[in-house]
């Protein structure tokens, strides 16, 4: 049995937008529309290496989330960004991000991290799970 909670309209809208933005192709489509508004599905297909049917399905999901609007021009459908939804997302993210405090030592990113030629993946070691019973290479050599 699932529990259905009622949230305010803005929270529901943000959740719907974030769900739609959960696929990289949809983010790419919005980026293309942001760079040049009013594109047809065919124009988007030329720029994104996916089948026309796939792009159409992604555009439908963006439309359901009210991130794009459509305008019929004869047989063509022209897609544009729905700025009202983008403003809702912007307002939410601005408000949310302003409440987060990140300590200075944690502000480095992958883009600012520099690695030596050897040991490029060394920085990933801190994220590896430590197995309590795992023997080190030295211990394995001592056993043999």
CATH number at residue 20: 1.10.10.10
Range of the domain at 38: 9-94
46 vs 4, which has greater pLDDT?
46
Q: In the chain, what is the greatest distance between 2 CA atoms, to the nearest angstrom?
A: 78
The answer on pLDDT for 30 being more than 80 is: yes
Helix (H, G, I), strand (E, B) or coil at 71: strand
Instruction: Give dist(CA 139, CA 144) in Å, integer.
Output: 9
Helix H or strand E segment including 52: helix 52-64
Residue 118 lies in a domain: no
Across 10-20, average pLDDT:
87
Could you tell me the pLDDT band of residue 63, with boundaries at 50, 70 and 90? very high
Give domain status of residue 20, yes or no: yes
What's the mean pLDDT in 116-128? 49
Q: How far is CA 3 from CA 6, 9, 47, 58, in A?
A: 10, 18, 42, 28
Residue 18 lies in a domain: yes
Residue 42 belongs to a domain = yes
Examine residue 116 and state whether it is found in any structural domain, yes or no: no
pLDDT for position 43: 93
Of residues 43 and 104, the one with the higher pLDDT is 43
Q: Is residue 58 part of a domain?
A: yes
CA distance 116 to 37: 43
Domain total in the chain: 1
Return the higher-pLDDT residue of 26 and 144. Answer: 26
Q: What are phi and psi of 124, to 5 degrees?
A: -80, -15
Cβ-Cβ contacts under 8 Å for 122 (sequence gap 6 or more) = 115
In a domain, 136, yes or no: no
Report which of 129, 93, 127 is spatially closest to residue 110, judged by C-alpha positions.
Answer: 127
């Amino acid at each position: 049995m699932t529990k259905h909670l009622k949230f305010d309209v803005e929270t529901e809208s943000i959740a719907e937008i974030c769900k739609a933005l959960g696929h990289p192709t949809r983010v790419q489509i919005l980026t293309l529309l942001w760079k040049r508004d009013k594109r047809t599905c065919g124009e988007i297909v030329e720029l994104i290496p996916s089948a026309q049917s796939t792009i159409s399905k992604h555009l439908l999901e963006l439309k359901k989330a009210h991130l794009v609007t459509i305008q019929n021009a004869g047989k063509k459908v022209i897609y544009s960004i729905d700025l009202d939804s983008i403003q809702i997302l912007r307002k939410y993210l601005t408000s949310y991000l302003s409440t987060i405090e990140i300590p200075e030592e944690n502000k480095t990113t992958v883009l600012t991290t520099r690695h030596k030629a050897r040991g490029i993946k060394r920085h990933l070691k801190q994220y590896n799970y430590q197995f309590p019973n795992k023997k080190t290479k030295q211990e394995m050599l001592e056993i043999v």
